Amino acid sequence: MSHSLTQPAFGKVYLVGAGPGDPGLLTLKAKGLLEHADVVIHDALVSPPILGMICEHTRIIDAGKRRGRHSMAQEDITQLLIEQAKANAVVVRLKGGDPFVFGRGGEEMMGLLEAGIDVEVVPGITAGIAASAYAGIPVTHRDYSSSVTFVTGHEAAGKYRPQVNWSALAQGSETIVIYMGVHNLVNIVSELMAAGMGPDTPVALVRWGTRPEQEELIGTLTNIVRQVEETQFQAPAIAIIGRVVNLYEVLAPVSPMHSPHWSAVQA
């Protein structure tokens, strides 16, 4: 009688979007996975209330990366996911926002598939939409903007290609939402104005969007850099550029973060 040896089945990795911070914006599917995961590997932008939803028996690994101090290289994170999937049934890779919107989820998924690991993506609400909404700024509006472009403002040689064509964006999109752009704001503003975008074009910066500590800074292409310097406005933040920012004064007072019930929901 012959016996065939079979390779034990690997576990499954879920690339889960944690949303921008407000735990109320986490999807039900994401919440269920956090309650049943064997291992959760999270990034730096996942808010404490969401981390608090993880089952107490689950192993938690911080793989967070911040500007200037990367705790793990991207290649090492992918390798960690592969190793954990070989040892555990349910592995959650928890990312702020949405895994496929400037979250390098596509790279991690390709690496896992190449290693023979089963992967599923669980989308999350991205900051470009949520932070704007919580600040009272709709990224589209029939009277102001019928197009919106999401773009990274954090470019580095050899990491992003093709290079962002700010000139084309200045001419072709009525609303521009920039992720990770605070540290490159001087160059971005210069490029947009050089391409013909008016110096009085409204700009909004939203820091820690949807969280209790959310902050906004409103200006124009002409003065936003000076305001950032004067107020020492820091990342993480998104930038919204376009006429829709003019709606801030009207809609911000009734936006979610100004609701009398909002802080209680966050607590």
Q: Find out if CATH 1.10.3720.10 is the number for domain 128-256.
A: no
Question: What pLDDT does 260 receive?
Answer: 55
Question: Distance (Å, rounded) from C-alpha 241 to C-alpha 181?
Answer: 12
Helix pair angle (224-231, 185-194), 10° resolution: 170
Mean pLDDT of 36-53: 96
Mean pLDDT of 92-121: 96
Question: Distance (Å, rounded) from C-alpha 23 to C-alpha 236?
Answer: 18
Q: What is the CATH number of domain 12-125?
A: 3.40.1010.10
% of the chain beyond a pLDDT of 90: 80
Band of the pLDDT at 160, cuts 50, 70, 90? very low
Question: What pLDDT does 143 receive?
Answer: 93
pLDDT for 59 beyond 50 = yes
pLDDT for 248 beyond 80 = yes
Domain with CATH 3.40.1010.10 in the chain: 12-125
Amino acid at 168: A
Active site residues: 43, 65, 180
Question: What pLDDT does 162 receive?
Answer: 52
Give yes or no for a contact between 193 and 221, defined as CB atoms under 8 angstroms apart: yes
Mean pLDDT of 108-113: 96
Question: What pLDDT does 65 receive?
Answer: 63
First to last CA, the chain: 63
Give yes or no for a contact between 266 and 50, defined as CB atoms under 8 angstroms apart: no
- 236 cis-preceded (ω within 30 degrees of 0): yes
Question: Distance (Å, rounded) from C-alpha 33 to C-alpha 222?
Answer: 46
Question: What pLDDT does 250 receive?
Answer: 93
Cα within 13 Å of Cα(207), Cβ side: 14
Domain with CATH 3.30.950.10 in the chain: 128-256
Rg (CA), the chain: 20
Cβ within 8 Å of residue 121, ≥6 positions away: 14, 15, 99, 100, 105, 109
pLDDT for 10 beyond 90 = no
- Of 11, 15, 8, which Cα lies nearest the Cα of 110? 15
% of the chain beyond a pLDDT of 70: 87
Mean pLDDT of 184-194: 94
pLDDT for 40 beyond 60 = yes
Band of the pLDDT at 238, cuts 50, 70, 90? very high
Question: Distance (Å, rounded) from C-alpha 3 to C-alpha 48?
Answer: 50
Reported residue count of the chain is 267
- Of 169, 181, 230, 175, which Cα lies nearest the Cα of 207? 181
Question: What pLDDT does 264 receive?
Answer: 35
pLDDT for 87 beyond 80 = yes
Specify the pTM: 0.87
Question: Distance (Å, rounded) from C-alpha 193 to C-alpha 50?
Answer: 40
How is residue 97 written in tokens? 């926002």
Give yes or no for a contact between 33 and 122, defined as CB atoms under 8 angstroms apart: yes
For the chain, what is the mean pLDDT?
89
